[in-house]
Amino acid sequence: MPSSTFIDHSSYRDSHIREILNNVNSIAMVGASATWNRPSNFVMKYLLQKGYKVIPVNPNTKEKEICGEKVFGDLASISGTVDMVDMFRPEHEAHELVEDAIKIGAKVFWMQLEIFNNNAAQLAEKAGLQVVMNRCPKIEYARLFGELGWGGINTGVISNSRRRLK
Amino acid sequence: MKKLHPQYGFNTLAVHAGTAPDPTTGARCFPIYQTSSYVFDDADHAASLFNLQAPGFIYSRLSNPTVAALEEKLATLEGGRGGTVTSSGHAAETLALFPLMAPGMEVIVANKLYGGTINLMGKSYRKFGWSAVFVDADNPEDFHRAVTEKTRAIFVENLANPGGVVIDLEAIAKVANEAGVPLVVDNTMATPYLSQPFEWGADIVVHSTTKFLSGQGNALGGVVIDSGKFAWLGNSKYPSLSEPSPEYNGLTFAETFGDLAYTMYSHAISLRDLGCSQSPMNAWITLNGIETLPLRIERHCSNALAVAQFLEKHPNVEWVSHAGLRSSPYYELGKKYLPAGTGSVFTFGVKGGYESGIKMLEMVELFSHVANLGDTHSLILHPASTTHRQLSEEQLIEAGAGAEVIRLSVGIECLEDLIADLDQALNSLYRSSN
Nearest CA in chain B to A139: B257
- Note whether residue A39 is domain-resident: yes
CATH 3.40.640.10 domain locations along chain B: 10-100+182-289
Q: Do A158 and B17 touch (CB under 8 A)?
A: yes
Domain that holds residue A48: 31-146
Q: What is the CATH number of domain B10-100+182-289?
A: 3.40.640.10
Q: Do A154 and B81 touch (CB under 8 A)?
A: yes
Interface probe with A: pick from B10, B206, B256, most Cβ of A within 10 Å: B256
Q: What DSSP line would sit under A40-99, residue for residue?
A: HHHHHHHHHHTT-EEEEE-SS---SEETTEE-BSSGGG--S--SEEEE-S-GGGHHHHHH
This complex has an ipTM of 0.89
CATH architecture of residue range(s) B292-433: Alpha-Beta Complex (3.90)
For chain B, give the longest Cα–Cα distance: 79
- Note whether residue A10 is domain-resident: no
What is the pLDDT, as a whole number, of residue B360?
A: 92
Coil vs helix vs strand at B368: strand
What is the pLDDT, as a whole number, of residue A84?
A: 98
Q: How far is the alpha carbon of A105 from chain B, nearest alpha carbon, in Å?
A: 30
Measured between CB atoms, which of A37, A151, A152 is closest to B251?
A37
- Note whether residue A16 is domain-resident: no
Residues of A in contact with B247 (CB under 8 A): none
- B12 vs B386: which has the higher pLDDT: B12
CA gap B105, B126 in Å, rounded = 10
Coil vs helix vs strand at A145: coil
A45-99 pLDDT, tens digit per residue, is: 999 999 999 999 999 999 999 999 999 999 999 999 999 999 999 999 999 999 9
CATH 3.90.1150.10 domain locations along chain B: 292-433
Measure CA of the first residue to CA of the last residue in chain A; give whole Å.
Answer: 39
Q: How far is the alpha carbon of B155 from chain A, nearest alpha carbon, in Å?
A: 23
Q: Do A42 and B12 touch (CB under 8 A)?
A: no
Return the percentage of chain B with pLDDT > 70, whole number.
99
Nearest CA in chain B to A138: B54
Asked if B72 and A158 count as a contact pair (C-beta separation under 8 A), the reply is no
CA gap B174, B183 in Å, rounded = 9
A7-55 pLDDT, tens digit per residue, is: 788 889 999 999 999 999 999 999 999 999 899 999 999 999 999 999 9
Q: Do A154 and B76 touch (CB under 8 A)?
A: yes
Residues of B in contact with A113 (CB under 8 A): 258
Of the pLDDT bands very low, low, confident and very high (cuts 50, 70, 90), residue A4 is very low
Q: What is the CATH number of the domain that holds A140?
A: 3.40.50.720
What's the number of domains chain A is made of? Answer: 1
Q: Do A154 and B80 touch (CB under 8 A)?
A: yes
B118-160 pLDDT, tens digit per residue, is: 999 999 999 999 999 999 999 999 999 999 999 999 999 999 9
- Note whether residue A21 is domain-resident: no
Q: Do A152 and B23 touch (CB under 8 A)?
A: no
Of the pLDDT bands very low, low, confident and very high (cuts 50, 70, 90), residue B390 is confident
Size of interface A-B (CB pairs under 8 A): 109
Interface probe with B: pick from A153, A157, A158, most Cβ of B within 10 Å: A153
Ramachandran assignment for B258, one of left (phi > 0), alpha (psi -120 to 50 degrees), beta (any other): left
Q: What does the mean pLDDT of chain B come to?
A: 94
Nearest CA in chain B to A39: B256
- Note whether residue A72 is domain-resident: yes
What are the distances in angstroms from CA B42 to CA A50, A138, B39? 15, 21, 9
Asked if B164 and B334 count as a contact pair (C-beta separation under 8 A), the reply is no
CA gap B293, B296 in Å, rounded = 5
